[in-house]
Structure 1
Amino acid sequence: MFQKLGRKFQQFMIGRNGPDDLARFSLAVAFAFMLVSVFVNDALASQVLMACAFAGVAYCYFRVFSRKKANRFKENRAYVSLRTKLTAPLRSAYARFKEWKAYHTTHRIYRCEQCGQSLRVPKGKGTVKVTCPKCKHSFTAKS
């Protein structure tokens, strides 16, 4: 029974846009509006939030069942481009933080007293003599 229903739905979806990133985002925003409307005490504000949630769900269904795939593709591409521009700095900052954290658990960073060059020394080696490769200044440091 469910297999027959699944095949009928697959046939129905042929030529339609289907779920994409913008449809998922509109559904998530609609869910957020619904959730916020539960906690709002004002009846009018709650109704407005539920109306916005309903509009988000309706827009999601419109996108999923639309037959104008080229138009929906352009809209989704614009959304993904905007999302990438907004989230790229956060992703790169997170990657830099992870790299910094991994790097600083295995090495200590010192600055050359003469030229200010950053020098890394492996941790756990005791007192070591560090020589700057830039100006050849030597000093001792604890690793």
Structure 2
Amino acid sequence: MTGPESLPEDVRDGFETELDDHGLFSWLDLEFVTLEPGRVVFGIPFEEKFANLVSGAVHGGVTASAMDTASAFALRSTFDDPVSAQVTTTDLDVRYVNAARGDLRVEATVVEAGGTMGYTDCEATTAHEGERKTVATGGTSYRLFRE
């Protein structure tokens, strides 16, 4: 999770602590794969508790929650103080493309982080026959609470 564009260690540590301490995030087993200014990638291991009752694939609500959460962290990473930054979802758009029957990878990239509003593009993928298969695409808008 480090690289030329990675966030400072104290920010990464603060974000990791939030994942561990937040009930929903820890239940989803969210794990940062990439944490850069304006871009967050989560890994989510497949577990039966996430399965849709009918298909056995990952429930769409799990995918949507992960996309929303990745977007929030990506937008917060653009603040001067990302760990204490506050944002709230104003719109979440998810288009389901394929079923996921394995681990998820969710990526959110900031399109715009203005004074009061922020926007992201998102994609969820899963491994399928040695390649990444798109599960869902979408985006978010957020209210940003800057000082």
Same fold by TM-score greater than 0.5? no
Bigger fraction of residues in strand: 2
TM-score by length of 2: 0.28
TM-score, scaled to structure 1: 0.28
Question: Based on CA coordinates, which of the two structures has the bigger radius of gyration?
Answer: 1
**Larger % of helix: which?**
1
